[in-house]
Structure 1
Amino acid sequence: MAIATLGVTVLDCPNPRELAAFYAAVLDWRIDDDGDPDGEWIELVGPNGPQLAFQRSVGYQPPRWPSTEQPQQFHLDFQVPRERMDAAEKEVIRLGARLLEDDHGGKRNWRVYADPVGHPFCLCAC
């Protein structure tokens, strides 16, 4: 028997509403900020309820990927059909992501990006 179940994954950031909007567009999930009118904590509701949240962190410093001086600590992987990888890349960049590392000419099944505040994430071919 499990001791607990996983709730929501939380990302620190300077502006929770802005970062939530980025991930809401990537995932086509709904933003729920009803519980916090000050915008200190914003949740994204996916098909299984709240799954990502964003909390304001005063003095936030983004990870420096792939450096260990300010390590990524964790990253998110998003699955994308292989034939949609190029289109998905264009969309996340349009939304404010930046490419950190490509798929080495198709030799790997993933590409690494930074979200608008620097958290690394991958688009992974499935």
Structure 2
Amino acid sequence: MAVAELGAVVLDCPDPRALAGFYAEVLGGSVEDQGDWVDLSLPGGRTLSFQAAPGFVPPKWPDPEHSQQIHLDLDVPDLDAAEQAVLALGATPLETEDRTRTFRVYADPAGHPFCLCAG
């Protein structure tokens, strides 16, 4: 029997409203602004949350000396189309050398790494 149920994944960032808006464009859902905390209610009932973090420093990708801690894998039907969409929304490519893989790595506007994965 499980002890708990996952409530939300929370990303620290300098501007929770802006980052929630980015992910709302990428994943859909509705944004619920609560000041220093913003929830993105996703289709299917999951929640991705964003918390204001003064002094936020984004992780580096790749950094063999320091773990990135967490990243999101986002399944997409078309890697090329999804890439164009996230770049237009403000994502930054983090790896561009191997375009034959079934995933591609980006940073969101606050610097969190995420992958688009062929789904």
| TM-score, L = length of structure 1 | 0.88
Deviation by residue 1:55-80 (Cα, 9 ceiling, x = unmatched): 00000000011114553101000001
Instruction: Write the distance in 1 (CA, Å) between the matches of 2:64 and 2:20.
Output: 26
**Structure 1 position 121, deviation (Å):** 0.2
Unmatched 5+ stretches in structure 1: none
Query: Aligned residues, how many?
Result: 119
Secondary structure (helix, strand or coil) at the match of 1:17 reads helix
Paired position in structure 2 for 1:79: 75
Where in structure 2 are the equivalents of 1:12-23 lying within 5 Å?
12-23=12-23
Cα distance in 2 between the residues matched to 1:109 and 1:13: 28
Work out the CA distance in 1 between the residues paired with 2:90 and 2:30. 19
Contact residue 31 and residue 43 of structure 1 kept, 8 A: yes
Hey, what does 1:67 align to over in structure 2? 63
RMSD: 1.4
Does residue 49 of structure 2 align to residue 56 of structure 1? no
**Does residue 117 of structure 1 match 2:113?**
no
Provide Cα deviations, 1:92-120, integer angstroms capped at 9, x if missing partner. 001000111137131x1100000001100
Counterpart of 1:6, as a letter, is L
Per-residue deviation, 1:19: 0.3
Question: Contact 1:103/1:111 (CA < 8 Å) preserved in 2?
Answer: no
Encode CA deviations 1:81-100: one digit per residue, 9 max, x unaligned.
1xx21111011001000111
Residue 19 of structure 2 corresponds to residue 26 of structure 1: no
Shift of the alpha carbon at 1:10?
A: 0.1
Whether contact under 8 Å (1:13, 1:19) holds in the other structure is yes
SS at match of 1:49: coil
The two structures have a TM-score, normalised by structure 2, of 0.93
Identity of aligned residues (%): 55
The answer for the alignment partner of 1:104 in structure 2 is 98
